[in-house]
């Protein structure tokens, strides 16, 4: 498979849903300019609490927060690695221009190589 997946899990105050969607749309435009193929942001609908592990536990979600699961598809890890310094320096993503309506310290992310794609 010739693409690379960047995955994210975060907790967003439920009252900030509209602000999160606005933030995500604006950020996606920046990511697209730097080469991302697809950005998918999913608002939690059926995300149960766990006993030992769970999405809510992983991001320390509070009762008034909703878990968001997201993934970005890049042409390759090399494309991601080349783009990220530019993305992080883009003034459109500075907090003054596009504030994060969530606690970024509890965002979990990672890069993944697809092994099955049916």
**List of residues 6+ apart from 62 with CB closer than 8 A:** 11, 13
Q: Report if residue 38 sits inside a domain.
A: yes
- Is residue 11 within 8 Å of residue 62, measured between CB atoms? yes
Cut 0.85: pTM above it: yes
For residue 28, tell me if it sits in a domain.
yes
Q: Is the dihedral of CA 53, 112, 117, 67 positive or negative?
A: positive
Q: pLDDT by residue for the chain (118 residues), tens digit each?
A: 699 999 999 999 999 999 999 999 999 999 999 999 999 999 999 999 999 999 999 999 999 999 999 999 999 999 999 999 999 999 999 988 888 999 999 999 999 999 999 9
User: Has residue 72 been placed in a domain?
Assistant: yes
6 contacts 115 by C-beta, under 8 angstroms: no
Contact 109, 2 (CB under 8 A): no
Mean pLDDT over all residues of the chain?
A: 96
Backbone angles phi, psi at 115, to 5 degrees: -120, -20
Q: Which domain holds residue 18?
A: 4-92+105-112
In a domain, 118, yes or no: no
Cβ contact 84:92 at 8 Å: no
Over residues 41-70, the pLDDT tens digits come to 999 999 999 999 999 999 999 999 999 999
């Amino acid at each position: 498979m010739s693409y690379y997946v960047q995955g994210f899990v975060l907790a967003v105050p439920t009252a900030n849903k509209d602000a999160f969607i606005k933030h995500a749309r604006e950020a996606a435009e920046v990511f697209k300019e730097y080469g991302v193929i697809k950005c998918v942001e999913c608002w939690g609908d059926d995300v149960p609490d766990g006993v030992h592990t769970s999405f809510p536990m992983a991001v320390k979600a509070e009762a008034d927060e909703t878990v968001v699961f997201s993934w970005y598809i890049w042409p390759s890890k090399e494309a991601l690695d080349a783009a990220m310094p530019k993305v992080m320096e883009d003034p459109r993503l500075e907090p003054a221009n596009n504030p994060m309506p969530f606690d970024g310290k509890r965002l979990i992310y990672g890069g993944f190589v697809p092994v099955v794609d049916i």
